[in-house]
Amino acid sequence: IDPRNFDDILAVVASIKEQVGEETACAELGIICGSGLGPIGDAVEEATILPYGKIPGFPATHVVGHKGNMIFGKLGGKKVVCLQGRFHPYEHNMDLALCTLPVRVMHQLGIKIMIVSNAAGGINTVLRHGDLMLIKDHIFLPALAGFSPLVGCNDPRFGARFVSVHDAYDKQLRQLAIEVGRKSNMTLYEGVYVMSGGPQYESPAEVSLFKTVGADALGMSTCHEVTVARQCGIKVLGFSLITNIANLDCDASVEVSHEEVLDIAEQAGQRASLFVSDIIKELNI
């Protein structure tokens, strides 16, 4: 499977439909559960689970704390397809087209809206660990340096050659999230997410750089998926679960540990998942 080849994507979709059935495979909402939104995958009703290992072209996931399942079923009365486990560019030689294959597959399965989540380090000082930040815009650092999933020859069936991302995180969906948050007394910040390539965490000087250019939270995922979703016209709602505070001062810095990130993601993930379920109930698709 070549993730840059449109016909290969259709072949992947045909295989999925053959394995789970045409009716089960069709979905109107796609969810990418990053660290923290795993529980939402477990909450899918009438679930049909397809492990990534059975999907042609899907690479294996190796990161501890990330599963690898495509889950079909219902949430809040909507037909959903849920990706429990995502592909990080640092795991796959910065092959961003490969890492976004699931987004193109979900588009062919019919999704109109995609909800994405990630674990992120807080840069803005109002953020505390365990907080949820609604993403209003992003800085896709790898893409600015040439690592974009849209690089290469573009089959027009994927969408436009030059994609506008002025409205990447849909304003109406963000307003809905804020309203639902208000009703359920959920403190919700809105901010800018910056994606770095990783896998090393950033130095204090690098975090200062991101703060200076307007980033509020920092992670290693999401932007590539959102960019591909926008190319094919999917509306996006994105969240960052703040698992730790990014280091800004090199004389008062602490080690960032993946265990801490996973621990907080697990603690706060249940609440975040309930909140996202409440949003899904209110969606008009």
Is-catalytic flag, 138? Answer: no
Q: Give the DSSP per-residue string, the chain.
A: --TT-HHHHHHHHHHHHHHH-HHHH--SEEEEE-TT-HHHHHT-EEEEEEEGGGSTTPPPP-STT---EEEEEEETTEEEEEEES---GGGTTT-HHHHTHHHHHHHHTT-SEEEEEEEEEE-STT--TT-EEEEEEEEEHHHHTT--TT-S---GGG--SS---TT-S-HHHHHHHHHHHHHTT--EEEEEEEE---SSPPPHHHHHHHHHTT-SEEESSSHHHHHHHHHTT-EEEEEEEEEEEPP--TTS-----HHHHHHHHHHHHHHHHHHHHHHHHH---
**Minimal distance in Å, beta carbon 284 to ligand 6GU?**
33
Shorter beta-carbon distance to ligand 6GU: residue 61 or 231: 61
Contacts with ligand 6GU by CB under 6 A: the residue count is 15
Restricting to residues 143-202, which ones interact with ligand 6GU according to CB under 6 A? 196, 198, 201-202
Is-catalytic flag, 90? Answer: yes
Restricting to residues 243-272, which ones interact with ligand 6GU according to CB under 6 A? 243-244, 246, 256, 261
Binding mask 48-77 for ligand 6GU (x = CB under 6 A): ------------------------------
Shorter beta-carbon distance to ligand 6GU: residue 99 or 261: 261
Binding segment for ligand 6GU (CB under 6 A), chosen from 13-21, 55-63, 116-124, 141-149, is: 116-124
**Minimal distance in Å, beta carbon 121 to ligand 6GU?**
2
Is-catalytic flag, 258? Answer: yes
Is-catalytic flag, 35? Answer: yes
Check if the beta carbon of residue 211 is closer than 8 Å to that of residue 122.
Answer: no
Is-catalytic flag, 62? Answer: no
Restricting to residues 191-220, which ones interact with ligand 6GU according to CB under 6 A? 196, 198, 201-202, 218-220
Shorter beta-carbon distance to ligand 6GU: residue 13 or 32: 32
Which residues are 244's β-sheet partners? 121
Is-catalytic flag, 119? Answer: yes
The residues that are catalytic are 35, 66, 88, 90-91, 119, 220-221, 244, 258
Chain residues that interact with ligand 6GU, rule: CB under 6 A: 119-121, 196, 198, 201-202, 218-220, 243-244, 246, 256, 261
